Amino acid sequence: MDYNVDIFLNNIAQTTGSPFLISIERAEGIYLYSPEGKRYTDLISGISVSNVGHRHPKVVEAIKAQLDKHLHVMVFGEYIQSTPNQLAQKLVSLLPPSLNCVYYVNSGTEANEGALKLAKRVTGRTEIISCRKSYHGSTHGSLSVSGNELKKSAFRPLLPDVRFIDFNSLTDLKQITEATACVIMETIQGDAGVRVPSKEYMKAVRKRCDETGALLILDEIQCGMGRTGTLFAFEQFDIVPDIITIAKAFGGGLPIGAFIADKKIMQLLTHDPMLGHITTFGGNPVCCASALATIHVIEEEKLLASVEKKGRLFESLLQHHHIKEIRRIGLMFAIDFDSADRVNRIVEHAKQAGVICYWFLSHPNSFRIAPPLTISEDQIRESCAVILEAIEKT
């Protein structure tokens, strides 16, 4: 096995000049293991992916069972396959009646791309409204509706007719008009440092979209699949979006995403033009098997029931006079400090001590915690002791 750092740095495309640079040989539950046997506690779930832990036995079993049947057999939407059918049936059973049709894709950004196209097709409008400080992905369309200008400026021109409003600002909602095709927003802003809207605001967004005929797209790529204590975060605000996008933890460790809407509007992608959206690997049966098993694990192990209790335990233990603020919903945290430099040193110290925290792209004064929902209370206590030590020593 080759964990040569030069190969990694020179032959694999890099995203930053300072990658995390730990070698991982295997993973199990909440732990990652280096080739030398060093154990790391994964408090970020691979960035909100491994909500049921790494290599959950039931997920691995489902993957192996599908491997014995078939892998990819045809592009999305042509062949009838059992596992994608079962997964779609399960998903729509867990969602409100108007979210009854699933379009499988490969990632979160592709889910958002598809949702934006669908909104334009439904309304015949071009204006898109998003929120400042938002993050929806790195492909051109998703980047266009993300709020971090620093990440966008080198890649312009991007999509036209995109306008930005402040998240959780009732006053800004008047900017949604009869010219607006859709409003796209994260139900919980993740990359901005875990920003939780008020129920009043979310209800007002829904009402304004209804008044103007704009579609409401809720991006639950990071906050969905139990992260906030409900399977979908929008359930906590007593509203229903027109389109929801999911990915990350949806696949249980394999790459899959989806945008989900009413069949009546999803059908518009089949004509004028035909193949209005298409993907080769969307609905890959192995990824669907993993996703279906992941949902079953969340249900059968009653993981949602303990999310809030575990979140409160983290919050009660992470008390330190250098912490400026803790923002949390469920097991989704941003821990604020006075500088990005301090955050970097804390994250690095914790890494050396065997606990993985991480930064936010758009809020460098915070570090993130988003552990597997399977984490135990003892594991929470052990992890918080390491983090507090990192705060003290930096």
Tell me the per-residue pLDDT of 104-124, one tens digit each, with 9 for 90 and over.
Answer: 999 999 999 999 999 999 999
Cα distance between residue 371 and residue 380, in whole Å: 9
At residue 213, the pLDDT reads: 98
At residue 200, the pLDDT reads: 98
Cα distance between residue 298 and residue 159, in whole Å: 38
Cα distance between residue 105 and residue 5, in whole Å: 32
Instruction: Tell me if the pTM is above 0.95.
Output: yes
First to last CA, the chain: 35
When pLDDT is averaged across residues 367-394 and rounded to a whole number, the result is 97
Q: CB–CB of 121/127 below 8 Å? A: no
When pLDDT is averaged across residues 313-317 and rounded to a whole number, the result is 98
Query: Quick one: what percent of the chain has pLDDT higher than 70?
Result: 100
Mean pLDDT, the chain, rounded, equals 97
Helix (H, G, I), strand (E, B) or coil at 252: strand
Cα distance between residue 226 and residue 355, in whole Å: 22
pLDDT interval class at 1 (50, 70, 90): low
pLDDT greater than 80 at residue 306: yes
At residue 32, the pLDDT reads: 98
At residue 71, the pLDDT reads: 98
Q: CB–CB of 121/269 below 8 Å? A: yes
Cα distance between residue 174 and residue 56, in whole Å: 46
Q: CB–CB of 292/87 below 8 Å? A: yes
pLDDT greater than 90 at residue 2: no
Domains for the chain: give ranges and CATH numbers: 58-300 (3.40.640.10), 306-369 (3.90.1150.10)
pLDDT greater than 90 at residue 384: yes
pLDDT interval class at 362 (50, 70, 90): confident
Sign of the CA dihedral running 320, 326, 328, 332: negative
Q: Which residue shows structure tokens 């993973």?
A: 27
Q: Which residue shows structure tokens 């988003």?
A: 370
Task: For residue 74, give both structure tokens.
Answer: 């045809």
pLDDT greater than 80 at residue 391: yes
pLDDT tens for each residue of 188-231: 999 999 999 999 999 999 999 999 999 999 999 999 999 999 99
Residue type, 393: K
When pLDDT is averaged across residues 262-274 and rounded to a whole number, the result is 97
Comparing CA positions, the residue from 310, 330, 332 lying closest to residue 194 is: 332
Cα distance between residue 223 and residue 278, in whole Å: 26
